[in-house]
Amino acid sequence: MSAQPLRPPPPVVRAPVVDSHCHLDPEEWGGDDGVDAVVDRAFAAGLSGLVVVGAGVSVMDHAVLLAARHGPRVRAVVGIHPHEARYASPAALAQVEALARRPEVVAVGEVGLDFHYDFSPPDDQRAALTAQVALARRLQKPLVIHDRESGGETFAILAGEGAFGGAGVLFHCFSGTPREADRLLEHGGYLSIPGIVTYAKADRMREVAARVPTDRYLVETDAPYLAPEPWRGHRNEPAWVLYTVAAVARIRAEPAEVVARTTTLNAVRFFDSPGLAGQEPWTAPESGA
């Protein structure tokens, strides 16, 4: 392995922080031991909780087992990603439903439409989304949404299927316009801000981050993807959500601790999971951890 270039370590934020969306699939991280190491690094860096997304038939059960292994600070979300919608057979949806009934599972997701990659045919994506909205409503669990280049169709399906009358809707990795954000917020939805907000060209996302009401946004890594600056291009990990907290704090002209506390409260409320805030009283990590 080559030496890492010198870059600033994650900032120390003296308040609980939740990475509200990460993928910790064992095959990406060198097995369960590798996954547990990355979880330990996140807590050592000062995070209070993680929401792990198992979005696909081959990874869902790993996310649930991880949550069970680490307790209430780690919770799971399960569902069939739009990329995998072609595999959303009745049997696969029954598997989502069985897992989603478990107490470690706090939402159905990530589900939605992705017409950028079209890894699954659009009609399969629509059908999988519709079925999983119904499933979430039946189980009274919130929905974590993936929306990429759907031309507003994801939102239209959610509205048409009554998703906004359910347990909650969170657009993860929100990349829409301020107007689209307003429409989501008017419907009672939440949005989550990823490390993209640190990228030079992400002015539109920074505008959304500046305007979103305090009680309606979360922060996330989407690890292993979308590493924030100064690590863009590297494999992302949950501890690095701290760079995003610091960036959002600068954009909103608030202390990082305020961004941390408010987004943690929002995560606790949205996922109905007080354990994500960590133990009370929360203790700061050793400086420089």
Among positive and negative, which fits the CA dihedral 65, 68, 71, 75? positive
Cα–Cα distance, 31 to 159 (Å, whole number): 39
Q: Where in 88-147 is the site for Zn ion (CB under 5 A)?
A: none
Q: Cβ 115 to Zn ion, closest distance in Å?
A: 17
Q: Where in 51-70 is the site for Zn ion (CB under 5 A)?
A: none
Burial class (CB in 10 A: 0-12, 13-18, 19+), 203: exposed
Beta-carbon contacts of 267 under 8 Å, excluding residues fewer than 6 positions away, are: 18, 20, 49, 51, 218, 273, 276
Among 81, 54, 141, 66, which Cα is nearest to 106's? 141
**Which residue's CB is nearer to Zn ion, number 161 or number 220?**
220
**Which residue's CB is nearer to Zn ion, number 161 or number 222?**
222
Question: In the stretch 20-39, what mask flags binding to Zn ion with x, by CB under 5 A?
Answer: --------------------
Cα–Cα distance, 266 to 158 (Å, whole number): 21
**Which residue's CB is nearer to Zn ion, number 111 or number 209?**
111
Cα–Cα distance, 59 to 38 (Å, whole number): 17
Q: Cβ 110 to Zn ion, closest distance in Å?
A: 5
Q: Where in 199-258 is the site for Zn ion (CB under 5 A)?
A: 222
Q: Cβ 158 to Zn ion, closest distance in Å?
A: 17
Q: Cβ 217 to Zn ion, closest distance in Å?
A: 17
Which residue's Cβ lies closest to Zn ion?
222
**Which residue's CB is nearer to Zn ion, number 84 or number 222?**
222
**Which residue's CB is nearer to Zn ion, number 236 or number 264?**
236
Q: How many amino acids of this chain bind Zn ion (CB under 5 A)? A: 1
Q: How many CB atoms lie within 10 A of CB 220?
A: 28
Q: How many helices (H) and strands (E) does the chain have?
A: 9, 8
Q: Cβ 61 to Zn ion, closest distance in Å?
A: 17
Q: Cβ 81 to Zn ion, closest distance in Å?
A: 8
Tokens standing for residue 231: 């690590």
Cα–Cα distance, 109 to 84 (Å, whole number): 12
Among 216, 222, 214, 210, which Cα is nearest to 184's? 216
**Which residue's CB is nearer to Zn ion, number 10 or number 82?**
82
Task: Summarize as ranges the residues that interact with Zn ion (CB under 5 A).
Answer: 222
